Chain A
Amino acid sequence: MSYYDIDAILTDAEKVPCKFELDIPELGYLDNNPSQPLKSGTTIGLPLWLAELLALANRAPSSADEDAKSFVSLNMPASLSSEVMSALKADPRAVPLRDQSHNFYGLGTRMLDLFEEKEMCAILRRTFVTRAADIALHAGKAGATDDMGVGAGEEFLRGLEEWERKLFKKSHDGAKGTKEWMEGVKKH
């Protein structure tokens, strides 16, 4: 992952629900309540880069008998909720992943780094592989026939998230190169 990878930066900006573990003064405006301090137990969506740091950093225990606690506790974002997972389990092709998150798999890998979720990993893998076959099929056809049309291709592309769009572009480039050569072979 490159430092300048725009998708990684956008993935870092994805909001993740975090539950605050302590009262914080002057931060009430985050919860639309500027006059009050931010109560502990409030759940607020924070960008992933911030949430990760706050969840992993330990604050000093206030008394000797208390364990070191983190500032916030992380939860799974809505795009990786159990509803989405069971929908993906049922039929990976039917879910428009882009509606869940633009960087669905990127967010997925980041969350898998933080949580130990073997089942989610298996589901994401299966989803990716199953949808990849579909992507290759569409990528090979896109722009090839007139009856396929731009409309159908766009409709399909709309459901793809960033990784899948990259994959679509790659396989489309390959198919296009071959097709161009095949059409050009007669001219030489």
Chain B
Amino acid sequence: MALSLPSGLVPTEVAFLCEMEMITIVPRQRLESIPMLSGKTPALRPPRRADLPLWLALLLKKQRRANIVPPPWLLPASLQEIVHTETNIDPEAFSPPPPAPMRSDGRGVARPYATAGSGNGERELILAPPFLPSCTQDAPSGYLPYHWLEIAETLLAHAADDIPNAPEVRALLRDLQEVRAAKMRASTRHLEGGGGVLNIRGVGAMELAESRGFVLGVVDGVRKLGASVEAGRREEELERGADGDGSDDDMEL
């Protein structure tokens, strides 16, 4: 118990990890490609858009060498749509995460989502969420990606002049955060029956970091309170199993 760090990532660590997200910029100056451990960055030619990791994009932005193109889901219309989904259409669940980057082309073949917009065709196909370009200009609007809160806050802090209607975006983000925090608090209610299952589909990294301690605490408490009944139930089941009446057979499909 010497290490006092809580289990899981703390918010600052989550914010650090989110800096690897790719984001689209419009460069103002030429910059040759930089070889880095994660691969080469694209060479920047002023009018052409390029995808860079967030940390590099922010660095260029601060040096006034680039403008950031906000991801489509960060536009006021998209955020309004998400808030509407969260509050009116489905007041219980969180809004769904972005869809998988494949879609049917109508002939029974699945094609990667939005390969046409990115320009270079030989880009390898990435399917897993942490490496999925969910914050570039190709990202689908109306869906919150995993790092939505961190990206939005960082962009609002450092590139507010690149985001159209930044005050409205800020207000909508506050609404969204409040709504989802209230849902997170209420979601533990489903643990009452002792099912022990909590649906957190679509919850972002920062929200997880924020409520991890609380949710784990509730789950642990419910488990401890139900431990004796659970043990009794197991014993009963064992006894029934020993009798060999085979009542579990009706579980077969």
Chain A residues packing against B (C-beta within 8 Å): 2, 105, 108-109, 112-113, 116, 118, 121, 124-126, 128-130, 132-133, 135-137, 139-140, 163, 166-167, 170-171, 173-175, 177-178, 180-182, 185-186
Contacts and interface: CB of A to CB of B under 8 A. Distances in A.
A178 B229 contact: no
B194 interface: yes
Contacts of A182: 153
A108 B224 CA distance: 10
Interface stretch (B38-46, B133-141, B180-188, B244-252): B180-188
B192 interface: yes
B228 A109 contact: yes
Contact of B214 (A121, A126, A170): A170
A129 B224 contact: no
B226 interface: yes
A128 B222 contact: yes
Query: Which 5 pairs across A and B sit closest by C-beta, in order of nearness?
Result: A170-B213, A171-B214, A177-B11, A167-B217, A112-B228
Given A136-B214, A140-B181, A177-B12, A167 B221 contact: yes
A171 B188 contact: no
Given A109-B228, A181-B12, A125 B213 contact: no
A118 B224 contact: no
Contacts of A175: 210
Contacts of B6: 170, 173
A153 to B, nearest CB: 16
Interface string B25-64: 0000000000000000000000000000000000000000
Q: Pick the most buried of B6, B192, B212, B216: most chain A CB atoms within 10 A of its CB.
A: B192
A185 B209 contact: no
Nearest to B178: A140
Nearest to A171: B214
Q: Is the interface of B mostly helix, strand, loop or mixed?
A: helix
A116 B228 CA distance: 8
A129 B228 contact: no
Given A125-B194, A170-B217, 14 more contacts: A105-B225, A109-B225, A109-B227, A133-B188, A136-B184, A167-B217, A167-B218, A170-B214, A170-B216, A173-B6, A181-B206, A182-B153, A185-B157, A186-B157
Contacts of A185: 15, 153-154, 157
Contacts of A124: 225
Given A112-B228, A129-B192, A170-B213, A181 B222 contact: no
Given A105-B224, A105-B225, A128-B221, A174 B12 contact: no
Contacts of B229: 112, 118, 121
Q: Pick the most buried of B189, B225, B226: most chain A CB atoms within 10 A of its CB.
A: B225
Contacts of A129: 188-189, 191-192, 218, 222
Contacts of B213: 170-171, 173-174
A177 B207 CA distance: 11
